[in-house]
Structure 1
């Protein structure tokens, strides 16, 4: 890992921790509203699959070791709690976001159809940055509280879907506005300008 990769990986890990401090508890559910998945959307888009996964994975590993980095809490006991399934899914979500947005930025869609490009970018954030987390989070929630799956969906998924979509919209706007700093976009642009082959995706 280069110094630049190390710095950016650490910066997005810090952003993820900072976003976790923005917490709105809901009295009817053990799952609070946070900006964690917004942070992982940006980490995936700007770091790519490998370093995005590493950035968020480091935070999750440190939390498991006992550091109070998420909502001021940490430790194996916290990971085993009701939101543990979501926490463990976060690095996987970041990996998926990084992979699919990377493919999107390296395609010709951005130039051929900007509207389609932004729609697919939003879809990548929504599906892989938000909805994918429920694949592990909801069954985990049901198991911890001994709830039927329908109740876990009602209390751990449905109330958050509108907010997830809003965060995906904002992530799309931010990524689109700062797309010159997306690594795969910069590599492809510079290779086109110089005529040199693009570097392999990190």
Structure 2
């Protein structure tokens, strides 16, 4: 990773931050839980997979910070109430999920199906499951649920959708990084090491 941010990297970070906001409007309320189904975690996975650790983290942090400052970026909501509400535990983990995805995907060297499987496991483990580590306990706290109820309402209903989003993120990440290596996406220069993902 480059030691300093580049203009191109910042621009791509802003694009992916905007993607998270747009994907937030693709929302399906479930009625029995305050946590809707959205495409935002797909954007988090793509940010880490395509931008790498530094810019993936930066892009998601843009959303979290601006939302905390009051910008209506989380399904039309903003300010500390949006961050501290029932879904805040998921949101606060987005930058770290993108960071870990970027770090681990860049280390994948396997080709063919083993490579795809590794990238999928990274996407599912850190783009989905990691979010529940903070998301579920915070849901229990903010909504006054027991931990068992928070797991039932904030974890189980989303597992199938998470797998689908991880599969989509894997396919998109592998395909685009073959055509547009990370060095070209973020403008790290001719000396940058280009990542090699499964072909």
Alignment of 1:14-93 (within 5 A): 14-93=18-97
Distance 2:15 2:63 in 1: 11
Q: Residue deviations 1:173-194, cap 9 Å, x none?
A: 111221222416999xx99xxx
Partner of 2:172: 174
Partner of 2:120: 122
Partner of 1:198: 193
Runs of 5+ in structure 2 lacking a partner?
Answer: none
Q: Residue deviations 1:54-107, cap 9 Å, x none?
A: 001011100000000110000001111100101101111111111111111xx3
Give TM-score, length-normalised by structure 1. 0.87
Offset of residue 51 of structure 1: 0.7
Distance 2:40 2:192 in 1: 36
Runs of 5+ in structure 1 lacking a partner?
Answer: none
In structure 1, which of residues 76, 94, 97 is the aligned counterpart of residue 98 of structure 2? 94
Give TM-score, length-normalised by structure 2. 0.88
3-state DSSP class of the match of 1:144? helix
Q: Residue deviations 1:127-168, cap 9 Å, x none?
A: 000000000000000111221111100000000000000000
Checking the alignment, whether the CA contact within 8 Å between 1:41 and 1:97 is kept in structure 2 is yes
Checking the alignment, whether the CA contact within 8 Å between 1:179 and 1:185 is kept in structure 2 is no
Checking the alignment, whether the CA contact within 8 Å between 1:9 and 1:52 is kept in structure 2 is yes
Offset of residue 199 of structure 1: 7.4
Q: Residue deviations 1:14-63, cap 9 Å, x none?
A: 11111111111110000000001000100001110011000010111000
Number of aligned positions between the proteins: 188
Higher relative contact order (CA 8 A, sep 6+): 2
RMSD over aligned CA atoms reads 2.2
Computing the radius of gyration from Cα coordinates, the structure with the larger value is: 1
Task: Give the 3 Å change call, closer, same or farther, for CA 31–137 of structure 1 in structure 2.
Answer: same
Distance 2:147 2:79 in 1: 26
